[in-house]
Amino acid sequence: MCQLIETIRIENGVPSLLNFHQERMDRARKELFGIDKPCKLFNHLSALSLPQVGIWKFRVTYGVRIEKTEFESYQKKTIQSLQVVEANDLSYDHKFLQRDDINKLFNKRNQSDDILIIKNKMLTDTSYCNIALWDGKNWITPLHPLLKGVRRASLIRSGKIQTGDIFLNDLHYYQSVKLFNAMISFEEADEIQMSSVLI
């Protein structure tokens, strides 16, 4: 049986984007295991003593039920360059614990800090982040990412970013790219100039 994870940002004792994590977890359990009854994340968090100072990563490992939870102090890594890698057959529709295929791609980053994964000639994600590209007027995130992240869902719903197909051949139309995920807010996200995206 496959295992999945949710990684929740806890900042000064307050969990972020909990409703979006709950939605994704419920969707995965229904699609993969046929389970309609939610695993209530709020109840699990309420029963724990959350760290009250700083930013923490709360990791939930689950399948049919929640199997393990753990806290880890969080330090954001700085990403300044991306290596384009192609992976037309890669599938990561749910946030699986097993990431061997993505890890193999990450090892192809050469001297860059991370990878930018291309599928069917279109941009998707980096190894751990969703992306949005600045076209001079709007932030555009790929319509078909490998994984629909919770931060991405929140930003789309709030209107801060828009969705669209972004083809590798059209990178010259964009000025920069931001990297964000459940642990990295849009304001904190590294913004990389297109000259540092290596093809």
pLDDT of res. 169: 94
57 with 95, same domain: the answer is no
pLDDT of res. 48: 87
91 with 30, same domain: the answer is no
Rg of the chain (C-alpha set):
17
* Separation CA 105–CA 116 (nearest Å): 9
65 with 86, same domain: the answer is no
pLDDT of res. 46: 86
CATH of the domain at 49: 3.30.470.10
| Domain total of the chain | 2
Q: With DSSP H G I counted as helix, E B as strand and the rest as coil, what are the percentages for the chain, rounded to 5?
A: 25, 35, 45
* Separation CA 3–CA 67 (nearest Å): 9
| Sheet containing 4-11, strands listed edge to edge, beginning at the edge strand earlier in sequence | 14-15, 4-11, 55-62, 66-73
pLDDT of res. 110: 94
175 with 111, same domain: the answer is yes
Task: Report how far Cα 37 is from the mean position of its chain's Cα atoms.
Answer: 25
170 with 86, same domain: the answer is yes
13 with 103, same domain: the answer is no
pLDDT of res. 44: 86
Spell out, as residue ranges, where the chain has pLDDT lower than 50.
none
68 with 92, same domain: the answer is no
Domain containing 61 equals 4-73
131 with 89, same domain: the answer is yes
> How many secondary structure helices (H) and strands (E) does the chain include?
4, 13
Q: Is the whole-model pTM more than 0.85?
A: yes
